[in-house]
Each structure stands twice: as structure tokens, then as C-alpha cells.
Amino acid sequence: MTQRQLKKNCLIGLVLAAFALPLAVQNPTYLHILIMLFLFAYMTTTWNLVGGFAGVLPLGHSVFVGIGAYSSTVLWLQYGISPWIGMIVGGLLSALVGYLIGKPTLKMRGAYFALSTMAFLEGVRVMVENIDMLGPFKLNGPRGLNIPPLPPEDAGFWVFQFSSKEPYYFIALTMLIAVLALTYFISRSKFGYYLKAGGEEPEAAQALGVNVASCKVAATALSAFLTAMAGTFLAQLTLFIYPKSVLTLDLSFELAFIALIGGRGSIAGPVIGALLLRPVGEFSRIYFSDSLPGLHLIILGVVLIVVMLYQPRGLSEPLLKLFDRITSRFTKEAQEDKV
């Protein structure tokens, strides 16, 4: 067996184990933690398309989560349209917003881009908090939207409501695997290389035929589409959304934290980051939310500082090297072509 095959088998084993996990874990609280872990790994992966590959730091990605959540919820509540269709509609709307906001802001560098995305998010949040009706659509201002739970006999796949946690688990896991596969595919494609080149040395990339600005805008639109799908999922999971739950800086920062700690611009980074940080966040929320609310953000901040000091490119790099060393122990083949 070559090292590459061994790695592939490990990966397949991991995926199968993840799918089999609900057999062992039946406590709904733990399942919920796992679902949120997958959801955050998913959102961070979509964030990573812009924040990692395109080399900018978006800090307002929850605006897309909000668009996804509100789109599908409004369509379901007012028109009875399946949240699955709402997910696509929200995605398209979000991609359009991503395109419109990305077009002018992606020309800015560093902190200016980060600040402008934050400002846009805050603007949208304040707007949603202050209007009850957007045209014919009821947003219900700061009170948010409540999706009445269906009786168990009406729940099911098409209405995206389930009486147990397991279906949510499988949907979240499938979405995560799909988006990871997409990222893998993109990172090896011309588009992926162009994004990386444009993110690192825009002038040099342009001289080599890369239209840096349009690559970044395309990545942002794609990322916005996929992030909005997570918003719909979140709305269906919690059945209650309000501006401060989906359109917040906290959520945007957490995605950036996970990516930075896990490893920006790497495929495994967001997953590793979520695996490490989500449980910390969840447990601190469960045990300290009364005495020390917001403790999880302090913990994230401390972890981020430590990681940035000792592993500025994130934890995925040393961990993958370790994995590489372990798998090479078991195989005797020479190092393969690494590109």
C-alpha cells in the first residue's frame, strides 16, 4: 500500500465513522453539539474560499448566514415554500449581495476590506432590527421569526423539520463533506491557483494573465451562496431566528477565529479549528453562561494569541505533518510527487 492509498483509506474510515457516530451518541445535547460543530466547520470552509484562498479578511460573513436564514423562513412562513427551495433562493440572493458588496470592497487592502465588511453587516443588522415589513415580506424587526414546529406526523425531509436530531446530523455532515470536496476540487483547479496567486502578489498575478479582481468577486459570490445555505439549515434547526442570532459580529468573528486557528487557506484547517474550538465554546456556554457569559470568546481570543505566536499559519500545518509522518511509518514507498 502506498502512503497516498493509506491516507485515502484513513479519510474514508473517518467519514464512515462520522456517519456511524449517532449509533453511539444518542444524547440529543451531544448530538446538537456535533451538529453545530459540523455547521461551523461548513461555514468556516465557505468563509475560507474568500478569507483563505483569496487572501483577504472578511469579518462580516454572517450577513450571508442571515440572508439564507431569513429568505427560507419568510418563504416558508408566508408562502409555504419548502425550505429546500428557500435554501437555493437565499443562496442566489446572497450571491448577488456578495457580488455587489465584493465588487467595490475587494479592491481595498487589509484592514480596510475587513472594516468595510463589518460595517456592511452592522448596517444590515440595524436595518433588519428596525423594519417589520420589507415590501411584502414580514421580517418582524427585533422580535425575529418563529417557525411553528409541525406535529411529528407532518415533519419530514421536504418540510425540513424532524422530530429527532439524527436527520439534522446527517444533513449537516453531508453538507460539510460536499463543501470540503468542492474546496478540494477548487484548490487544485486553475481558479484556485489564480485565487492564491492574486491573494499573495496581485501585481505579479495580473502580469501573468490573472484578472485578480474578478477572481475575488467570483469567489465571494460563491462563498456567499454556500454560506447562505448554512443559514437556512440553522433556521430549520433552531426554528427561531432574530437579527442578533444570525446577523451578528460574534458569529462572523467566530468563523474568522476558527479559520485562523485551524489554518487559513488550507482545506483541513476549518475542520480542525472547529473540532478544537466548538466543544470549548459549547461547554463554556453550558457551564458558565450564568456566571461568566461570553467566556467562550475570551477563551477563543487567548487560544488565537497562543496559536499566532507559535504557529502563525494555523494548527493544520503541524498536524498534517504529523499525520504525514505517521502514515509514512507504515509505508515504505518513497516520497511521491507532492503537487
For residue 201, give the C-alpha cell. Answer: 502578489
Instruction: Give the per-residue SS3 of 130-168.
Output: HCCEECCEECCHHHCEECCCCCCCCCECCCCECCCCHHH
**232 versus 266: smaller Cβ distance to another protein:** 266
Interface with another protein includes 209 (CB under 8 A)?
A: yes
Interface with another protein includes 106 (CB under 8 A)?
A: no
Out of 69, 89, 173, 210, the only residue in the binding site for another protein (CB under 8 A) is 210
**24 versus 207: smaller Cβ distance to another protein:** 207
Q: How far is the CB of 211 from another protein (least distance, A)?
A: 5
Binding residues among 149-188 for another protein as defined by CB under 8 A: 188
Whole-number Cα distances in Å, 37 to 186, 261, 277, 279: 23, 15, 9, 8
Out of 29, 78, 174, 189, the only residue in the binding site for another protein (CB under 8 A) is 189
**86 versus 265: smaller Cβ distance to another protein:** 265
Interface with another protein includes 309 (CB under 8 A)?
A: no
| Total binding residues toward another protein, as defined by CB under 8 A | 22
CB 46 within 8 A of CB 59: no
Interface with another protein includes 194 (CB under 8 A)?
A: yes
Q: How far is the CB of 29 from another protein (least distance, A)?
A: 40
Interface with another protein includes 339 (CB under 8 A)?
A: yes
Query: Which of 323, 317, 277 lies closest to 300 in space, CA to CA?
Result: 277
Interface with another protein includes 322 (CB under 8 A)?
A: no
Query: Length of the chain, please?
Result: 339
Q: How far is the CB of 119 from another protein (least distance, A)?
A: 29
Run of H or E including 325: helix 316-330
Distance between CA atoms of residues 210 and 17, nearest Å: 41
Instruction: Give the per-residue SS3 of 221-287.
Output: HHHHHHHHHHHHHHHHHHCEECHHHHCCHHHHHHHHHHHHHHCCCCCHHHHHHHHHHHHHHHHHHHH
Interface with another protein includes 321 (CB under 8 A)?
A: no
Interface with another protein includes 200 (CB under 8 A)?
A: yes
Out of 23, 80, 153, 338, the only residue in the binding site for another protein (CB under 8 A) is 338
**143 versus 188: smaller Cβ distance to another protein:** 188
Whole-number Cα distances in Å, 80 to 86, 122, 216, 218: 10, 30, 36, 32
Q: Which residues bind another protein (CB under 8 A)?
A: 188-190, 193-194, 196-197, 200-201, 203-212, 265, 338-339
